[in-house]
Amino acid sequence: MAAIGVSLFTTRITHRKKRLVAGKFKVSSISVKQSTESKRKQVEKQSVTKETTTTTIPKAFDESEIEQLSVKDYLERAKEMIKSDGGPPRWFSPLECGARWNHSPLLLFLPGVDGIGLGLIMNHQRLGKIFDIWCLHIPVMDRTPFEDLVRLVERTVKSESSRSPNRPIYLVGESFGGCLALAVAARNPTADLMLILVNPATSLSKSQLRPLLPLLPVLEAMPEQLHVGFPYILGLVAGDPFRMMMATIEKGLPLQQTVVELSENLAATLPSLSVVADILPRESLPWKLQILKSAASFANSRIHAIKAETLILASGKDQLLPSLEEAERLYHLLPTCQIRKFNDSGHALLMEGGVDLVTIIKGAGFYRRTRKIDYVSDFMPPTPSEFKQVYDSWYRLVDIALSPVMLSTLDDGKIVRGLAGIPQKGPVVLVGYHMLLGLELGPLFNRFLYEKNILLRGMAHPLMFGKNWERSLLDYSSFDLYRIMGGVPVSPSNFYKLLSQNSHVLLYPGGVREALHRKGEEYKLFWPLQSEFVRMAARFGATIIPFGVIGEDDILNLIIDYDDFLKIPFVKSLIEEINDGRVRRLRDEINGEVAKEDIYFPGVLPKLPGRFYFLFGKPIDTQEELQDRERAHELYIHVKSEVERNIAYLKEKREKDPYRTFLSRLIYQAIHGSATEVPTFEV
């Protein structure tokens, strides 16, 4: 993988996607050994080795050649795959997946009750860049009992685990396939499995299908003319057709163009809808419902034995299953479980637009290639579309409201507007002040990507990567943004790895104490007495850039702080409960204010927004390794004093900014255009 931090994108976010000929699927009844050997040869030809350059995004993460598939593609390919060949259930690999990352783990897709195995079709190309994908195909008229299907998947898991013992195996189960994944995990508690359950059918007893279960004999004898419409009804209940049709329509288009494209998609798809009746023919429907009942019962009776890490994707508008309720139930039964909710989605979640499984996996911190996740070597850079999604959802609002001012210092000491003083080549360590709640992070990441094409790798508190900590949050995905944008748990080993990759590392010595400071402590540094990063940076000859940032007092009033909360008995108990063993202490051996790392959520009131100001100081070279602790400490004190000096400079200069207030900036852009950069004080 390319050294992250330098020239992440070769094209800007507005790049055009290239269209390729639609890929097809190779389906065959093959043994696990044969499949493995053929795949290994394919990997030798197509695998992408780790890039050592810093000028291009690795091919495994390049989305410029990804073709957006649709429901129409699913129906057309399903039409070919449901043709009866008398064969047993078997694995197939989507040929369109193409080249993938080195040492990619195996992903086994376990389909819903339809059994086709194409449920990941809209994600095949992106998933195929980071996984070796095998999809299970269960022929329409197949009558293999559920336990035999469990044994089929189990044999594959054991065989592949023995061939690659240090790599995990992902089981992605959709609906019925979720029960199958749970059953395999329960029977193999020592296997290194990662489960992704998409609206699992373990809640069948509470399903809309429950009234049909006692009627299985009646359904079997149902006249064909009465049966024809049933699959259509079932298909509509299973997913939201409108959201599926919207999957391939580009967001942000004018209303008229959106309507035209939607109409074209609908017209192209309608002729293929007849295949739905062939996927669930009259002869197979009773058996499908019976095996679904067996699967739910089997999985529920063995949940207690599951040890695998689990990620549950739950739809809020699933008209077939109570998926949100079931996700919460499983969340409390499984030992290591995460949930991601999709409140506006239906049962066929992975067939809907805007649902990118790769992005979900990245955000949840659920991707690893070895027995333990490595947030440095397993990191996948955000694609242009992912960054655009992040920017549109958060950064754009901050840019408009705060119009951040970025200043940097050239080698000759001259201060200029923009980031010209930031070295393009790493390793670089940016060391600075952490504003309240980390408010500066959005503008910082955004401007470095847009102006310098650099992705900062922020060293963050481990709580942002703790799976158990998510249970305390109102929104389980609160920290997904930081993981997608390259956040790394702060530790000496991760710092070492980032420097060895020539990264641009963002470091806050003040940590939690600075970001959750008390009233009257804004712009005060809470750094440890001893140097923590200088000698490591010097070992790699990294450039250190001290920076200051101000503006928190222009957008927020801190009303209730940590000391205030401790005076309220029940709040004090809650804070103690949160911090008692659930939050890892980073500096147990240090005394003083910096060691006070208790997590709490300050009470704030927003102001009419002012402006953020950043000043990046003169780059400090560390070409020679600093073995002498005294010299390293002197440099550490110098860096700290430079951060304080930068803050003082900005506080003085902002008083002379005629566009410090939101209203003044609004008037300026109304006159000169909304895309015009708002001026600031004279540098």
Q: CATH number of the domain that 235 lies in?
A: 3.40.50.1820
Other C-beta atoms within 10 Å of 309: how many?
A: 22
When comparing pLDDT for 242 and 127, which is higher?
127
Look at residue 237 and tell me whether its pLDDT is greater than 70: no
Give the pLDDT of residue 635: 92
Residue written as token pair 């992040």: 390
When comparing pLDDT for 569 and 278, which is higher?
569
Give the pLDDT of residue 30: 32
Cα–Cα nearest to 238, from 303, 169, 176: 176
The pairing of beta strand 504-507 with beta strand 169-174: unpaired
Task: Please tell me the distance from the alpha carbon of residue 235 to that of residue 187, in angstroms, as a whole number.
Answer: 32
State which H helix or E strand residue 394 sits in.
none
- Domain containing 93 equals 71-364
**Could you tell me if 92 and 228 lie in one domain?**
yes
* Mean pLDDT estimate for the chain: 81
CA distances from 379 to 130, 385, 494 (A): 11, 17, 12
Task: Please tell me the distance from the alpha carbon of residue 515 to that of residue 537, in angstroms, as a whole number.
Answer: 23
Is the Cα dihedral 451, 456, 460, 465 positive or negative?
positive
Q: In the chain, how many domains are there?
A: 2
When comparing pLDDT for 129 and 589, which is higher?
129
Task: Please tell me the distance from the alpha carbon of residue 525 to that of residue 520, in angstroms, as a whole number.
Answer: 12
When comparing pLDDT for 492 and 464, which is higher?
492
When comparing pLDDT for 10 and 84, which is higher?
84
C-beta separation of 105 from 134 below 8 A = no
How does pLDDT run across 532-544, given as a tens digit for each residue? 799 999 999 999 9
Mean pLDDT of 226-239: 45
Confidence of residue 277 (pLDDT cuts 50, 70, 90): low
Give the pLDDT of residue 38: 43
**Which of 1-5, 77-81, 397-401 has the least mean pLDDT?**
1-5
Give the pLDDT of residue 223: 56
Bond from prior residue into 89 cis (ω within 30 degrees of 0): no
Confidence of residue 163 (pLDDT cuts 50, 70, 90): very high
**Could you tell me if 443 and 406 lie in one domain?**
yes
Domain final position from 364, 395, 424? 364
Domain final position from 318, 334, 364? 364
* Backbone phi, psi, residue 577, to 5°: -65, -40
Token pair recorded at residue 449 = 């990507």
- Angle, helices 176-187 vs 146-163, to 10°: value is 60
Mean pLDDT of 218-233: 49
How does pLDDT run across 599-616, given as a tens digit for each residue? 888 999 999 889 999 999
* Backbone phi, psi, residue 83, to 5°: -65, 130
Look at residue 35 and tell me whether its pLDDT is greater than 50: no
Give the pLDDT of residue 4: 32
* Backbone phi, psi, residue 546, to 5°: -75, 140
Report if residue 472 sits inside a domain.
yes
When comparing pLDDT for 6 and 580, which is higher?
580
Domain final position from 316, 332, 364? 364
CA 136 distance to own-chain centroid: 25
Report if residue 25 sits inside a domain.
no
**Could you tell me if 310 and 415 lie in one domain?**
no
Look at residue 649 and tell me whether its pLDDT is greater than 80: yes
Token pair recorded at residue 585 = 């202490």
Amino acid at position 431, single letter: V
**Could you tell me if 316 and 412 lie in one domain?**
no
Cα–Cα nearest to 590, from 528, 635, 650, 535: 528
Token pair recorded at residue 681 = 């004080």
Report if residue 133 sits inside a domain.
yes
Give the pLDDT of residue 371: 92
**Could you tell me if 274 and 412 lie in one domain?**
no
Give the pLDDT of residue 619: 96
**Could you tell me if 396 and 522 lie in one domain?**
yes
Report if residue 247 sits inside a domain.
yes
Mean pLDDT of 189-210: 91
Look at residue 442 and tell me whether its pLDDT is greater than 70: yes
Cα–Cα nearest to 550, from 648, 639, 460: 648
Look at residue 413 and tell me whether its pLDDT is greater than 90: yes
Task: Please tell me the distance from the alpha carbon of residue 478 to that of residue 393, in angstroms, as a whole number.
Answer: 13
C-beta separation of 201 from 352 below 8 A = no
Look at residue 226 and tell me whether its pLDDT is greater than 70: no
How does pLDDT run across 168-197, given as a tens digit for each residue? 999 999 999 999 999 999 999 999 999 999
Look at residue 313 and tell me whether its pLDDT is greater than 80: yes
When comparing pLDDT for 8 and 626, which is higher?
626
**Could you tell me if 110 and 255 lie in one domain?**
yes
Token pair recorded at residue 537 = 């940076």
Provide the CB-side half-sphere exposure for 619 (13 A, CA): 21
Report if residue 375 sits inside a domain.
no
391: which DSSP letter? I
**Could you tell me if 403 and 331 lie in one domain?**
no
Confidence of residue 232 (pLDDT cuts 50, 70, 90): very low
When comparing pLDDT for 3 and 355, which is higher?
355
Report if residue 414 sits inside a domain.
yes
Token pair recorded at residue 261 = 């494209």
**Could you tell me if 388 and 462 lie in one domain?**
yes
Task: Please tell me the distance from the alpha carbon of residue 384 to that of residue 359, in angstroms, as a whole number.
Answer: 12
**Could you tell me if 328 and 389 lie in one domain?**
no
488: which DSSP letter? E
How does pLDDT run across 117-156, given as a tens digit for each residue? 999 998 998 999 999 999 999 998 899 999 999 999 999 9
Provide the CB-side half-sphere exposure for 459 (13 A, CA): 28
Mean pLDDT of 495-499: 96
C-beta separation of 594 from 513 below 8 A = yes
Task: Please tell me the distance from the alpha carbon of residue 337 to that of residue 308, in angstroms, as a whole number.
Answer: 9
Task: Please tell me the distance from the alpha carbon of residue 33 to that of residue 155, in angstroms, as a whole number.
Answer: 11
Report if residue 640 sits inside a domain.
yes
Mean pLDDT of 14-32: 34
Task: Please tell me the distance from the alpha carbon of residue 543 to that of residue 7, in angstroms, as a whole number.
Answer: 17
State percent of the chain over pLDDT 90.
Answer: 53
When comparing pLDDT for 610 and 19, which is higher?
610
**Which of 268-272, 507-511, 515-519 has the least mean pLDDT?**
268-272
Give the pLDDT of residue 233: 42
**Could you tell me if 178 and 254 lie in one domain?**
yes
Token pair recorded at residue 63 = 């989305």
Task: Please tell me the distance from the alpha carbon of residue 111 to that of residue 672, in angstroms, as a whole number.
Answer: 55
Mean pLDDT of 418-446: 94
**Could you tell me if 532 and 569 lie in one domain?**
yes
Q: Is 536 left (phi over 0), alpha (psi -120 to 50) or beta?
A: alpha
Report if residue 181 sits inside a domain.
yes
Give the pLDDT of residue 15: 32
Mean pLDDT of 308-317: 95
